Structure 1
């Protein structure tokens, strides 16, 4: 196991990716799924208050930082190590957290669950590859 030095720029880059990817995923690709599953009107969903976007960026920073911690604990640099760490994060944290609304919502919306879980798997995997690929040995 090597002592790894995580580049702060990799965490920032991964969080920018996560925020952008999430915006495309939920704002363009699966907008209608979100609107119908939560029973929003189009006007309610289009709430453009920038404070919510700042919150999303902060969440993305925490996700990227958490993935970097898993990579660092494993002690292996590289894209493959980043992907491995991300998949561990998905299984340990992403899957359980995205499952709460499926289990406890009165709607039990499987389509929304699939959209959310897919976004986490893809987004976190790419974020881990970014962080892992930029590690200083």
Structure 2
């Protein structure tokens, strides 16, 4: 099986697609209106975006999945539960503080935006870790 930094390439791709799908659910279906309102966007604003940005978003997702995979590998998280717990801990100490930057420094201080973005990363990181633990 092909590897990327010692990780199963198929696992990385499947986990990245799963994480990206979580983003589609979060920002496209479940919290679309709340997120757009919190960002101050209209449907017309969203329609005018170039699809090239979606490629960039997927690449960022792949980098996150590789990072999660490397930590799981280094930690030796063998079981599904260990992988999910590790992702939760990583999210708490890395992703959650990171998304707080926007909350603290942007003038709006939007709790809605913070909750949507943080929960997206939580679910995406845990789903990625689970997929990576299943496809080694």
Tell whether the structures are fold-level matches, with TM greater than 0.5: yes
Partner of 1:49: 50
Deviation at 1:6, TM superposition (A): 2.8
* Secondary structure of the structure 1 residue equivalent to 2:102: helix
The C-alpha deviation readout for 1:3-27, integer Å capped at 9, x for no partner, is xx53111111010011111012101
Structure 1 runs of 4+ with >2 Å offset: none
User: TM-score, normalised to structure 1's length?
Assistant: 0.88
Paired positions, count: 131
Q: Distance in 1 between matches of 2:42 and 2:64?
A: 30
User: How far apart are 1:99 and its partner, in Å?
Assistant: 0.7
**CA distance in 1: counterparts of 2:130 and 2:113, whole angstroms:** 26
- Judging changes above 3 Å, is the alpha-carbon distance between structure 1 residues 75 and 35 closer, same or farther for their aligned structure 2 residues? same
8 A Cα contact 1:77 1:133, kept in partner:
no
Question: 1:17: which partner in 2?
Answer: 18
1: CA distance, partners of 2:9 / 2:86 = 17
What are the residue-to-residue correspondences of 1:104-119 with 2, within 5 Å? 104-119=105-120
Do the aligned partners of residues 48 and 20 (structure 1) sit closer, same or farther apart at CA in structure 2, a change above 3 Å counting? farther
Structure 2 unaligned segments of length 5 or more: list them.
1-5
Partner of 2:7, secondary structure, is coil
| Equivalences for residues 53-92 of structure 1 within 5 A | 53-92=54-93
SS at 2:78 equivalent: coil
Q: Give SS of 1:76's match.
A: coil
Alignment check: 8 A CA contact 2:95 2:121 kept: yes
> What is the distance in 1 between the residues matched to 2:77 and 2:109?
39
State the alpha-carbon separation in 2 of the partners of residues 78 and 12 from structure 1.
20
Matched, 1:102 2:103: yes
Alpha-carbon RMSD: 1.4
